[in-house]
Structure 1
């Protein structure tokens, strides 16, 4: 018998949807509320390494990623003008034959997962969130912004890096800390020579290209910015093109005109991270994903560890008849992987900001990928 019969998920992002899908497949009743009435995941592309592919396979979604995204192998890291610095292998993760690396449009992955959430039988309410959560010894009574009230055995908080739930129930936790870099993302026509994740490591700059379909790829640039500052959106194309000029490699230079086109759909975000010490629950409210383990994109694993956490939580809730035992096992399985991703990503960022040892940078990436390939 499962530890819970009815669960509420607050937040319809990747981790929340993963938990909802897997809980329903275990026969547990699930409601999900998402404040965005369009349920629209913004952004350009997302890199998916093998561990994340394995998690999506667990949800039955891997074949759709293959069909609608791009599955590749390996990571190539170059000096700014082109010479190869190192090749990092990306073998299939333990227990799976999925691809070791790849990419997909973030909105495309969101649509794949939202469709699966509905197909699983989750009761989804859009444009809705909670107003109050009153916890008792054996459940939680939740009042919603639409005026309704429902009772649950467990509430899963997955409302993102700027979580209102965290502010309310974990008031001692500070806001995510700006880490000294910003990331630019843009959509580009796929270059014939880009058949895997390819990066150029420059002076306080890193540029990457990753295929996300047969015809398109996405570009990202991480840029050192000591102070978090507002950048006028009207200037984004010119700023991005200027950053690209620091990479004399012909492939990068050929893409500069595309950075100035509206189709580039440029996005800029300052980078921050957060790692909340366990336990991640307060009574019958448990937080997962970016609410407690928000990482910078240096290991391309933020979405992946969130999806994993949703899966592990659902499996432990279904496999144990005691809620306290299920939550203890969840915490035991998730802490080290999430800690490693957040802290190693921060270390990579520190090396880039301080123009540190590129060999150490490559070693951390390689060792992290090996660790992530292990079972969850």
Structure 2
């Protein structure tokens, strides 16, 4: 069968880019991936993956590695700030699989797993390089690179994140990512015997934990901040300790005692974007955060990006004209990605209104979880 595109360039070596490279190589395409980071290393503490997101990793072929190097959890627990249990929700079986769990892993570890899989799939990788121009012509796309070289491709995939340069080149008038009024803190702390994924609801924020290994777990805290500012590194530890002061649970007291400069403390303002369709122009397609960046309230941002890659590979395998393939792809992805971006944004709005526990918050969480269990 003649492929819709034989030579494919992927711009961006994050989760979506690496996953797309793996899936398109499975179809027999010649795939080149360029990544501007010389070290090809994803920064960050841990990342939580829901059952549906683990299904996508299973489709990619790296779920077993995830279970070996990450940590699985089969229950979610919600507590008040002083440690009183509000609800306990066992993980649901993901239809069509034997996955009845969620999981967490260090971001650099998952990045390394996907990078090794991409290399094993014979993806051609060029690091320390980005594009300088993209010019479509009658039978392909000419791309010029920051190292002074250029090449022609049948298809280009922009997977360069929420502040995508490919998106700006493709749709210069598109809306920029919007600050949501919240930021997220992350840190790596001792596990203290935690099983499952406990989350504590305070009056002005929430804090949660996800084990990532036998000894460690990553912590997140969602903070309301009116301005999209950056916090100096020397102020991060004292600020995070102050945020945790109102929580009186025994676990959080132990965490506060253990927090120090070695806990990989990070803070990131939360921006989102949902690019209206089309997500492609000619032979150039946007995937992952380039098209639909979400906040972490549904723990599905990375999962959506990896699902993008799986669906792109599936539609690619059906054949047809490239435009038809890209149209089928975006139409399959639109509603699912829209739900995650919009529902995550609404959850953040409720939290900004000091809305714990609110019926709408619980309903959105339940409806979203049920919808995401459906096949993608």
**TM-score where L is the length of structure 1:** 0.97
User: Pairwise mapping of residues 205-244 of structure 1 onto structure 2 (< 5 A)?
Assistant: 205-244=205-244
Q: 1:137: how far off?
A: 3.0
Q: Partner of 1:180: helix, strand, or coil?
A: strand
User: Pairwise mapping of residues 11-160 of structure 1 onto structure 2 (< 5 A)?
Assistant: 11-160=12-161
Q: 1:317: how far off?
A: 1.5
Distance in 2 of aligned mates of 1:317 and 1:50: 25
Contact residue 23 and residue 315 of structure 1 kept, 8 A: no
2:280 matches 1:278:
no
Q: 1:328: how far off?
A: 1.4
Root mean square deviation, CA, Å: 1.1
Contact residue 207 and residue 219 of structure 1 kept, 8 A: yes
Q: Partner of 1:255: helix, strand, or coil?
A: helix
Contact residue 72 and residue 99 of structure 1 kept, 8 A: no
Question: 83-92 or 291-300: which moved more?
Answer: 83-92
Q: Partner of 2:368: helix, strand, or coil?
A: helix
Q: Deviations over 1:17-59 (max 9, x none)?
A: 1100011111111000000000010000000001110000011
Q: Deviations over 1:208-239 (max 9, x none)?
A: 01111111100000011122223221010111
Q: Partner of 2:262: helix, strand, or coil?
A: helix
Q: Partner of 2:141: helix, strand, or coil?
A: strand
Question: 93-102 or 58-67: which moved more?
Answer: 93-102
Distance in 2 of aligned mates of 1:22 and 1:239: 42
Q: 1:73: how far off?
A: 1.1
Q: 1:350: how far off?
A: 0.6
Task: Count the aligned residue pairs.
Answer: 374
Structure 1: runs of 5 or more not aligned: none
Distance in 1 of aligned mates of 2:143 and 2:226: 42
Find the counterpart in structure 1 of residue 265 from structure 2.
Answer: 266
Q: 1:4: how far off?
A: 1.1
Q: 1:353: how far off?
A: 0.5
Distance in 2 of aligned mates of 1:359 and 1:10: 42
Find the counterpart in structure 1 of residue 315 from structure 2.
Answer: 316
Contact residue 282 and residue 323 of structure 2 kept, 8 A: no
Question: 214-223 or 318-327: which moved more?
Answer: 318-327
Q: Partner of 2:47: helix, strand, or coil?
A: strand
Q: Partner of 1:159: helix, strand, or coil?
A: coil
Distance in 1 of aligned mates of 2:336 and 2:369: 11
Q: 1:84: how far off?
A: 1.3
Q: 1:324: how far off?
A: 1.7
Q: Partner of 1:247: helix, strand, or coil?
A: coil
Q: Deviations over 1:140-191 (max 9, x none)?
A: 0111122222111110000111111111211111221110111100001111
Find the counterpart in structure 2 of residue 247 from structure 1.
Answer: 247
Contact residue 27 and residue 316 of structure 2 kept, 8 A: no
Contact residue 86 and residue 362 of structure 1 kept, 8 A: no
Distance in 2 of aligned mates of 1:28 and 1:258: 49
Q: 1:99: how far off?
A: 3.8
2:339 matches 1:340:
yes
User: Pairwise mapping of residues 297-312 of structure 1 onto structure 2 (< 5 A)?
Assistant: 297-312=296-311
Q: Deviations over 1:327-372 (max 9, x none)?
A: 1110111001100000000011011000225232122112111111
Distance in 1 of aligned mates of 2:71 and 2:358: 28
Distance in 2 of aligned mates of 1:299 and 1:136: 40
**TM-score where L is the length of structure 2:** 0.97
Q: Deviations over 1:107-155 (max 9, x none)?
A: 1000000010111000000001111111023310111122222111110
Q: Partner of 1:367: helix, strand, or coil?
A: helix
Question: 304-313 or 167-176: which moved more?
Answer: 167-176
2:198 matches 1:198:
yes
Distance in 2 of aligned mates of 1:257 and 1:175: 40
